[in-house]
């Protein structure tokens, strides 16, 4: 309704008005997360949540405590363990057997490329020394006996999750989304793009939106099945239509659920050498391998898919990590432009780890939004040990070029990929600005030429993500302006006070959100 000094607004206060003193804090537009897995993360938060724990002993203690507190749960589910705490990155079933011998345990790892299971789960899944590896995954085995040792990789984990683990009910998905929503609201987030919507989570989102329990504004990215072709577009259209007429108006400023996007995962990740590269991976010792990584969707099919989806009015959200994947994704959007002409669908590419310099200007030229997961742009063990030696020095210097994208005129959006990494926008913004791990602020910055100014970084996490979510209309979010939806976060610190946030030091992780409002409604209040 109004923005201005307290004295000018005092006359608007009525008997039902609550006055909140910012006390030196700062009101910012509600953050919007442009790439998050809310139902999955919420589901794990309600079960065994290992993301915030360190090491095997802490994990096993949490699993044992959950099992003791939930004696009637037939399955022990959840996840968030990190490979770095296990020899070879592969935990053993025997450790889980020691704390839960009688019920099946299935725990995804933090980046959802594998799972840790106990003997009971393997038995229920019928996985033995005689079971073959699936084409798109691997069963970790005892080298002496061939017996499954308790880690399932990639497709082996997904197949187990789909075929053996009980399917969550709609009520369970609804509870999961609500658990995620309350966590995201507590971090000042008022809207997001869900980067992996399935028919089951679509149903849950729809029902939450229909009765007002969904207080965030959510754009849903329907999952492109890479084992199928263009014939799946008919199913995607049905899913989009099922959300109802109002929900498919992508420019709508109201809160609710809008399944107007399709997510295509074009390659894997660099840490396990499945990210798609133009030149082969190095061998870690100064030589080359002959592995170029994987294209999950071949370039011709990708171009045809993006062109068809664009023609049907879908926004396309592309996962692309390696330089070849990113070039193929840009080529696919170029093919859609050549065939269908320009439009306002705002296709975007997420992750953007290695980009060849000549591809950077193409984002602005094609109107492709750079969807940045800035928390990853820091030196940490995975980067130092698994990524840089296998990229080699030249490509390692091309990682996460967010400032170069910004300078080229590309629009930036930001998102977490939670629960892979933290959902907290302030932690991600600290890394976007400093390129330093907030827990080791004395570390040198990672490729410091790619640091973003505090203004550019906040702009990307608010207005930029609102843009990619088609939430920038005159009543939309992402900006503080009279006439817009009141999506607000109150920070306990004025992060734009002179000297607080610089490229060298921006301690945003220490800042807390005091209060969050979505569509004018208080959805989080820390009580402080």
Residues contacting residue 105 through CB under 8 Å, at least 6 positions apart: 63, 75, 76, 77, 96, 116, 117, 118, 120, 121
112 binds Zn ion (CB under 5 A): no
Pick between residue 34 and residue 118 the one whose CB is nearest to Zn ion.
Answer: 34
Q: What is the nearest approach in angstroms of Zn ion to the Cβ of residue 349?
A: 12
Q: Which residues pair with 350 in a beta bridge?
A: 319, 371
Q: Which two tokens stand for residue 208?
A: 């939450």
Q: Which two tokens stand for residue 292?
A: 């170029």
Q: What is the nearest approach in angstroms of Zn ion to the Cβ of residue 111?
A: 9
User: In three state form, how does the secondary structure of 410-444 look?
Assistant: CCEEECCCCCCCCCCHHHHHHHHHHCCCCCCCCCC
Pick between residue 113 and residue 485 the one whose CB is nearest to Zn ion.
Answer: 113
Pick between residue 195 and residue 243 the one whose CB is nearest to Zn ion.
Answer: 195
Pick between residue 33 and residue 417 the one whose CB is nearest to Zn ion.
Answer: 417
Determine the 3-state secondary structure of 174 from DSSP: helix
Stretch that binds Zn ion, among 92-100, 203-211, 410-418, 517-525 (CB under 5 A): 410-418
Beta-carbon neighbour count of residue 22 at 10 Å? Answer: 14
Q: What is the nearest approach in angstroms of Zn ion to the Cβ of residue 415?
A: 8
Pick between residue 417 and residue 430 the one whose CB is nearest to Zn ion.
Answer: 417
Exposed e or buried b for every residue in 284-309, given b needs 16+ CB within 10 A?
A: eeeeeeeebbbbbbebeebbbbbbbb
Q: What is the nearest approach in angstroms of Zn ion to the Cβ of residue 176?
A: 16
Nearest to 306, CA basis, from 327, 328, 336, 326: 336
Pick between residue 267 and residue 492 the one whose CB is nearest to Zn ion.
Answer: 267
Nearest to 268, CA basis, from 288, 236, 291: 291
Ranges within 194-223 binding Zn ion (CB under 5 A): 195
Stretch that binds Zn ion, among 76-84, 125-133, 170-178, 416-424 (CB under 5 A): 416-424
Stretch that binds Zn ion, among 13-21, 47-55, 109-117, 193-201 (CB under 5 A): 193-201
Stretch that binds Zn ion, among 149-157, 309-317, 323-331, 414-422 (CB under 5 A): 414-422
Q: What is the nearest approach in angstroms of Zn ion to the Cβ of residue 195?
A: 5
Q: What is the nearest approach in angstroms of Zn ion to the Cβ of residue 295?
A: 18
Q: What is the nearest approach in angstroms of Zn ion to the Cβ of residue 281?
A: 22
Q: What is the nearest approach in angstroms of Zn ion to the Cβ of residue 488?
A: 27
Beta-carbon neighbour count of residue 33 at 10 Å? Answer: 29
Stretch that binds Zn ion, among 4-12, 191-199, 213-221, 472-480 (CB under 5 A): 191-199
Determine the 3-state secondary structure of 481 from DSSP: coil
Rounded-to-integer distance, Cα 47 and Cα 165, Å: 14
Q: Are 177 and 204 in contact (CB under 8 A)?
A: yes
Q: What is the nearest approach in angstroms of Zn ion to the Cβ of residue 227?
A: 19
Give the per-residue contact string, 275-314, with Zn ion (x = CB under 5 A; - = no).
Answer: ----------------------------------------
Give the per-residue contact string, 36-75, with Zn ion (x = CB under 5 A; - = no).
Answer: ----------------------------------------
Q: Which two tokens stand for residue 69?
A: 């507190």
Determine if residue 154 is left, alpha or beta; phi over 0 gives left, psi from -120 to 50 gives alpha, anything else beta: left
> Of the candidates 194, 310, 417, 492, which one interacts with Zn ion according to CB under 5 A?
417
Stretch that binds Zn ion, among 89-97, 152-160, 379-387, 415-423 (CB under 5 A): 415-423
Which residue number has the CB closest to Zn ion?
Answer: 417
Pick between residue 294 and residue 397 the one whose CB is nearest to Zn ion.
Answer: 294
Q: Are strands 31-36 and 26-29 parallel, antiparallel or unpaired?
A: unpaired
Pick between residue 81 and residue 192 the one whose CB is nearest to Zn ion.
Answer: 192
- The structure tokens 């658990």 sit at 179
Q: What is the nearest approach in angstroms of Zn ion to the Cβ of residue 8?
A: 44
325 binds Zn ion (CB under 5 A): no
Question: Dihedral (C-alpha) 155, 159, 165, 168: value to the nearest 10 degrees?
Answer: 90
Stretch that binds Zn ion, among 143-151, 242-250, 412-420, 465-473 (CB under 5 A): 412-420
Q: What is the nearest approach in angstroms of Zn ion to the Cβ of residue 37?
A: 6
Q: Are strands 488-491 and 513-518 parallel, antiparallel or unpaired?
A: antiparallel
Pick between residue 417 and residue 427 the one whose CB is nearest to Zn ion.
Answer: 417
Residues contacting residue 387 through CB under 8 Å, at least 6 positions apart: 270, 271, 396
Q: What is the nearest approach in angstroms of Zn ion to the Cβ of residue 183?
A: 17
Pick between residue 320 and residue 332 the one whose CB is nearest to Zn ion.
Answer: 320
Question: H or E element: which one contains 337?
Answer: helix 323-340
Nearest to 459, CA basis, from 515, 411, 427, 497: 411
Total of residues contacting Zn ion (CB under 5 A): 2
Pick between residue 34 and residue 378 the one whose CB is nearest to Zn ion.
Answer: 34
CA 427 vs CA 330, 363, 431, 436: distances in Å? 29, 26, 7, 10
Pick between residue 222 and residue 517 the one whose CB is nearest to Zn ion.
Answer: 222
| Residues binding Zn ion (CB under 5 A) | 195, 417
């Amino acid at each position: 309704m109004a923005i201005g000094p307290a004295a000018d607004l005092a006359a608007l206060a009525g008997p039902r008005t609550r006055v909140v003193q910012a006390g030196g804090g700062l009101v910012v537009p509600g953050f919007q997360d442009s790439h998050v897995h809310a139902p999955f993360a919420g589901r794990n938060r309600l079960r065994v949540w290992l993301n915030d724990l360190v090491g095997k002993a802490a994990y096993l203690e949490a699993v044992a405590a959950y099992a003791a507190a939930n004696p009637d749960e037939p399955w022990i589910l959840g996840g968030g363990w990190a490979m770095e705490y296990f020899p070879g990155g592969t935990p053993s079933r025997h450790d889980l057997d020691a704390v839960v011998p009688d019920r099946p345990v299935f725990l995804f790892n933090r980046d959802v490329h594998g799972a840790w299971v106990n003997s009971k789960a393997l038995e229920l899944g019928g996985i033995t020394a005689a079971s073959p590896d699936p084409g798109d995954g691997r069963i970790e085995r005892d080298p002496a006996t061939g017996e499954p040792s308790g880690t399932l990789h990639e497709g082996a984990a997904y197949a187990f999750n789909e075929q053996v683990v009980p399917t969550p009910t709609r009520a369970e998905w609804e509870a999961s989304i609500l658990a995620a929503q309350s966590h995201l609201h507590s971090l000042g987030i008022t809207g997001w793009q869900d980067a992996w919507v399935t028919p089951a989570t679509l149903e849950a989102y729809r029902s939450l939106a229909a009765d007002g329990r969904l207080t965030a504004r959510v754009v849903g990215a329907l999952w492109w099945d890479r084992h199928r072709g263009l014939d799946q577009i008919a199913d995607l259209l049905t899913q989009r239509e099922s959300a109802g007429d109002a929900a498919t108006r992508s420019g709508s400023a109201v809160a609710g659920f809008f399944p107007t996007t399709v997510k295509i995962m074009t390659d894997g990740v660099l840490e396990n050498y499945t990210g798609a590269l133009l030149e082969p991976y190095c061998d870690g010792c100064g030589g080359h391998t002959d592995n170029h990584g994987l294209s999950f969707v071949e370039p011709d099919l990708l171009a045809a898919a993006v062109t068809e989806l664009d023609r049907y009015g879908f926004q396309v959200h592309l996962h692309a990590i390696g330089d070849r994947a990113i070039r193929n994704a840009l080529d696919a959007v170029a093919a859609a432009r050549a065939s269908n002409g320009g439009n306002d669908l705002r296709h975007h590419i997420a992750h953007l780890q290695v980009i060849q310099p000549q591809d950077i200007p193409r984002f602005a030229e094609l109107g492709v939004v750079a969807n940045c997961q800035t928390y990853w742009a820091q030196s940490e063990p995975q980067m130092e040990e698994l990524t840089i030696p296998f990229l080699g020095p030249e490509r390692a210097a091309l990682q996460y070029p967010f400032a170069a994208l910004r300078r080229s005129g590309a629009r930036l959006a930001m998102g977490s990929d939670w629960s892979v990494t933290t959902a907290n926008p302030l932690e991600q913004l600290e890394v976007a600005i400093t390129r330093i791990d907030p827990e080791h602020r004395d570390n040198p910055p990672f490729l410091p030429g790619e640091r973003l100014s505090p203004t550019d970084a906040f702009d990307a996490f608010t207005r930029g993500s609102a843009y990619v979510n088609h939430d920038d209309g005159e009543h939309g979010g992402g900006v503080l302006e009279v006439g817009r939806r009141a999506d607000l976060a109150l920070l306990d610190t004025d992060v734009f006070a002179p000297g607080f946030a610089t490229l060298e030091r921006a301690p945003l992780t220490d800042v807390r959100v005091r209060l969050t409002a979505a569509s004018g409604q208080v959805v989080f209040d820390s009580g402080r």
